Amino acid sequence: MYKVSADRIDELFAKIAAARTLYLPVDQNDGRAAYKEWSQGTKMSSQLNTVRSAKGFFFPQTTNLCDFNLKDKEIEVVDIRDESEDFVVFGVRACDARSFTILDKVFLAEPVDSYYATRREHGTVVTMACTEPEETCFCSVFGIDATAPEGDASCWCEGGDLYIRANTEKGEQFVSLISDMLTECDDTAVKAQQERVKDILSKLPFANVSTDYFEKNTLLDVFNSEKWAKLSESCLACGTCTFVCPTCQCYDIKDFDTGHGIKRYRTWDSCMYADFTKMAAANSRNTQMQRFRQRFMHKLVYFPDNNNGEYGCVGCGRCLVRCPISMNIVKVMKSFGEE
């Protein structure tokens, strides 16, 4: 484990940014935090979570896929992809770091999504352990340790000093990049912080929410439950929960006529929308209850059934904070848990 003293943090960021593009959470004018490219004078936010997760670095909200040039009856397909620059995403929390594992199972499975794969190849994820978890956090329900985040390299901020540990080959390269600023040290301070924060985590309101119901009952038992009608009746279908979610991966592909050619691009979409997956014959899920059920069945049943029990939620709490009618995955889990 290595250490960077508090008075050299800005110097550390400058060192990283000189070699690779650096992104980190920054406080915005509205008081919330968002990932921004580092520049001289930029200060990293101390807030727990950004409004949106770090998912967008690897699965952007909009991705240009290709262009089509049209001339009479001839169509030329133009590959507009280029190699991504090497970049570092610094300060990623444990929940968001686990979301990359979930997204990898989707986009890196055959056939591999080359757009996503290229960004994963060029991106280095440096995580930051949580010290002040919020009441909306419940990552521990899904086996995530907020005091020991995954990632290419992990960091802990204690007493203003930064402690760093490499976890992967990319992490080793990152540490090598800043090696002249690092001092080797033991993990005494980190372990003390971990024990303190674990005590806080164990007392959070949703720390004991259970997934037992979804493990003990069959897919059809959950799917056919009468609870879905009651749970979904207040849902506005606004899709906010899907757009702030670090693991949602639904998208649509659209073509745009520029007047002298066609641009094909993909954008985030939401299973909560009435026109999602709409086909010539109509929509396969015609009611809001069906769409509501689809979202939570995917997180709690479909995904774990196909991925060795790993849930499609990381307990970041963003949907709890952003839902305008306070309907979220915790309420769904607790409602089914009552049985």
237, amino acid identity: A
- pLDDT over 80 (residue 224): yes
User: How far is CA 25 from each of CA 18, 93, 203, 332, rounded to the nearest angstrom?
Assistant: 18, 10, 27, 30
Predicted local confidence at residue 304, as pLDDT: 96
pLDDT one-digit tens code per residue, 44-62: 998 999 999 999 999 999 9
Three-class SS of residue 242?
helix
- pLDDT over 70 (residue 339): no
Can you name the residues that pair with 125 across neighbouring β-strands?
89
45 φ/ψ angles, rounded to the nearest 5 degrees: -70, 145
Three-class SS of residue 207?
coil
Contacts of 53 (CB under 8 A, 6+ apart): 96, 99, 244, 245, 246, 316, 318
Contacts of 249 (CB under 8 A, 6+ apart): 59, 103, 106, 107
Work out the angle at residue 272's Cα, subtended by the Cα atoms of residues 270 and 273, and round it to the nearest 5 degrees.
80
Predicted local confidence at residue 277, as pLDDT: 74
- pLDDT over 90 (residue 5): yes
| Residue (of 137, 5, 125, 132) closest to 57 by Cα position | 125
Work out the angle at residue 19's Cα, subtended by the Cα atoms of residues 15 and 20, and round it to the nearest 5 degrees.
110
Predicted local confidence at residue 261, as pLDDT: 86
Higher pLDDT, 339 or 237: 237
138, amino acid identity: F
**CB of 147 closer than 8 Å to CB of 62:** no
pLDDT one-digit tens code per residue, 131-161: 999 999 999 999 999 999 999 999 999 989 9
Per residue, the 3-state secondary structure of 285-315, as one string, reads CCCHHHHHHHHHHHHHHHHHHHCCCCCCCCC
**CB of 90 closer than 8 Å to CB of 44:** yes
Mean pLDDT of the chain, nearest integer? 93
Average the pLDDT over 224-241 and give the result. Answer: 94
pLDDT one-digit tens code per residue, 257-295: 988 889 999 999 998 998 887 776 666 788 899 999 999
Q: What is the DSSP string of 271-282?
A: TTSTTTT-BTTB
Predicted local confidence at residue 70, as pLDDT: 81
Predicted local confidence at residue 282, as pLDDT: 66
pLDDT one-digit tens code per residue, 185-218: 999 999 999 999 999 999 999 999 999 999 999 9
pLDDT one-digit tens code per residue, 61-110: 999 999 998 887 888 888 888 777 899 999 999 999 999 999 999 999 99
**CB of 318 closer than 8 Å to CB of 246:** yes
Average the pLDDT over 231-247 and give the result. Answer: 94
pTM of structure? 0.92
Antiparallel, parallel or unpaired: β 2-4 and 183-184: antiparallel
Average the pLDDT over 240-258 and give the result. Answer: 93
Residues composing the chain: 339
**CB of 311 closer than 8 Å to CB of 245:** no
Predicted local confidence at residue 76, as pLDDT: 87
- Say how many C-beta atoms besides its own lie within 10 A of residue 86's C-beta: 14
Predicted local confidence at residue 208, as pLDDT: 93
Antiparallel, parallel or unpaired: β 161-166 and 183-184: unpaired
Predicted local confidence at residue 138, as pLDDT: 96
Predicted local confidence at residue 84, as pLDDT: 75
Predicted local confidence at residue 278, as pLDDT: 73
In whole angstroms, give the CA distance from residue 334 to residue 71: 59
Express as a percent the part of the chain with pLDDT over 70.
Answer: 98
| Residue (of 286, 301, 285) closest to 333 by Cα position | 301
